[in-house]
Amino acid sequence: MTPLLSLSGLTKAYPGVIANDDVSLQIAAGEVHALLGENGAGKSTLVKMIYGLVKPDQGEMQMHGAPFAPAEPRAARAAGVGMVFQHFSLFDALTVAENIALGMENAPKLRDLSEQIRQVSDTYGLPLAPNRVVGDLSAGERQRVEIIRCLLQDPKLLIMDEPTSVLTPQEVQILFETLRKLSADGTAILYISHKLEEIRALCDTATILRLGRVVGTCVPRDTTARDMAEMMVGKVLATPTRAGVEPGEIVLALNKLSLPSPSAFGMPLREISLELRRGEILGIGGVAGNGQDELLAALSGETPAPVGMVQFQGADIATLGPNARRKQGLLAAPEERLGHAAAPDMSLTENAMLTGAVRERLDRGGFLNWPAARGFAERIISAFDVRTPGPANAARSLSGGNLQKFVIGREVLQRPEVLVVNQPTWGVDASAAAAIRQALLDLATGGAAVIVISQDLDELMEIADRFAALNEGRLSAPQPTKGLSVEQIGLMMGGAHGMEVAHV
């Protein structure tokens, strides 16, 4: 039987990097095919070629056995390829139907379109009211808008780029039900992810990319997550290890920490209480935008809090600014690497000075000791294997993973009493992520306390001793991670955000 889509020998080179090198794969109708690989493995480039956003240098594609070379996304859509991007392109101020109409070539009247939307959403178990304003929808509901937008074109192949990164476990289950139904109706799905358990649960076949090449294919159900990870990375992964440490005395305590939202798009913090002990790692999960940034800012001192709400080593530090907190040993590494944790156009030496001035004694009476800052930057670079020609290079010249290692390394090397990190391994390749997690574990073993805010639940389960979730600016009561089930975690994260499980 002719496959639905067949790629043979696709090659695409950018200056200095070969994004795809002789990539071949076949997708049958109704197949759920996973495309697996680390950041920078070439997954995005490959699907962009299928969707007509990028032209391959070499190789050819066939759809139903006929040559397929879309010059632009419109041609790809006409041929039956739909794509749901990781980042949504929706207008907050418009309704669901209006948003969908904007993306169509010949949009029918809004009333007819609403009827179609209702039909599709009923058929595939994606409850969605066409007249709701997109700005009021949750991330999961917005994703449904994007999916329905694709389904209205009646696609033969649906490409989904990291669809679950913004969903709670319950929302993931709803999505999977929909995808299974689509697949049963004969629609092929190309599913891009690096979350191995999801792929094992959903996909029929997986193609694994590494450095632009196909390094293997497998049947995910019959392959362990570890084996797939090692194919992805190309080497045996070291599982982070730690010596068991008994939690020590309380070092940081939040007492009903409440702060108003810093901006119109922010999230207020609502009565957050927790006690953090020496030697423990507290994992804080939650869907993005539920107060993660605000909590980090409240802990780092960027947003001072009312008296009494933040206690550090028994003293009230709620009103202190970032440097006063650093002096006492409370350090932080924000999520946004460029522009928040580091100044993009400044050198690594200057970025080492940025947070290291106080604890590394780089500041003597207001005058800055640049040779010492350079030495500190060099220590970070060598201790954390940051790939860069030297400390004089600008922060923005580093790759995301290398800059993240620099940012985490900068704080870890300052011997914190408490370290707060937000998304420490976001967009970082697997081996660098393992190194960062190991550094956090070592820090806790050494008697410091660590708060890891992350949207990667696997990461939190792997390194955290206790787990809590942020939902609408509230923090759930921390639970020991041992024995915590996915359902419990999902409920702590706020369940399905008011969405009901699809009835198909």
Partner 1 sequence: MIRLEKRPQPSRAFAYLTPVLAVLATFVFGGILFAALGKDPVQSILTIFWEPLFGEFAFFYRPQLLIKGAPLVLIAIGLSLGFKAGIWNIGAEGQYIMGALCGAGFGLAFYPAESALIFPGMVLAGAFGGWLWAMIPALLKVRFGTNEILVSLMLVYVAEQFLASMSLGLLKNPEGFGFPGSRNLQQYQSAHNAELIAGSGMHWGVVAALIAVIFAYVLLARHRLGFAVRVTGDAPRAARFAGVNPSRLILFCLGTSGLLAGLAGLFEVAGPAGQVSIDFNVGYGFTAIIVAFLGRLHPVGIVLAGLLMALTYIGGDIAQSQLGLPAAAIQVFQGMLLFFLLALDLFTNYRLRIGRVETA
Binding site for partner 1 (CB under 8 A): 14, 45, 48, 53-54, 72, 300-302, 321-324, 326, 332, 334, 336, 338-346, 350, 353-355, 357-358, 363, 366-368, 370, 393-394, 396-397
Please say which residue, 302 or 472, places its beta carbon nearer to partner 1.
302
Backbone angles phi, psi at 223, to 5 degrees: -120, 140
Toward partner 1, which CB reaches closer, 230 or 363? 363
From residue 140, give the alpha-carbon distance in Å to each of 147, 287, 400, 465, 495.
Answer: 11, 10, 27, 29, 12
Closest distance to partner 1 from the beta carbon of 54 (Å): 5
C-beta closer to partner 1: residue 280 or 293: 293
Distance CA 61, CA 29 (A): 15
Report in angstroms how near the CB of residue 359 gets to partner 1 at its nearest.
12
81's tokens: 């390829």
Residue 332 CB, shortest distance to partner 1, in Å, is 8
Backbone angles phi, psi at 292, to 5 degrees: -60, -50
In this structure, what token pair is assigned to residue 454? 């992350």
Distance (Å, whole) CA 362 – CA 368: 6
Cα 420 to chain centroid, rounded: 18
Least Cβ distance, residue 76 to partner 1 (angstroms): 12
The Cα–Cα gap between 498 and 478 comes to: 23
> At its nearest, how many Å lie between partner 1 and the CB of residue 279?
27
How far apart are CB 329 and partner 1 at their closest, in Å? Answer: 15
Structure tokens at 304: 């001072």
The SS3 of residue 147 is: helix
Bridge-based pairing of strands 449-453 and 418-422 is parallel
Contact 258, 460 (CB under 8 A): no
The three-state secondary structure class of 122 is: helix
C-alpha radius of gyration, the chain, whole number: 24
Pull the structure tokens for residue 450: 């660590």
Q: Kindly tell me which of 6 and 45 has the beta carbon lying closer to partner 1.
A: 45
Name the residue nearer to partner 1 (CB basis): 366 or 483.
366
Tokens of 289: 């935008």
User: Residue 357 CB, nearest distance to partner 1 (Å)?
Assistant: 7
Nearest residue (CB) to partner 1, 72 versus 227? 72
Helix (H, G, I), strand (E, B), or coil: what is residue 249?
coil
Question: CB of 13: closest distance to partner 1 in angstroms?
Answer: 11
Exposed/middle/buried for residue 239 (C-beta within 10 Å: 0-12, 13-18, 19+): exposed
49 versus 166: smaller Cβ distance to partner 1: 49
Residue whose CB is less far from partner 1, 256 or 327? 327
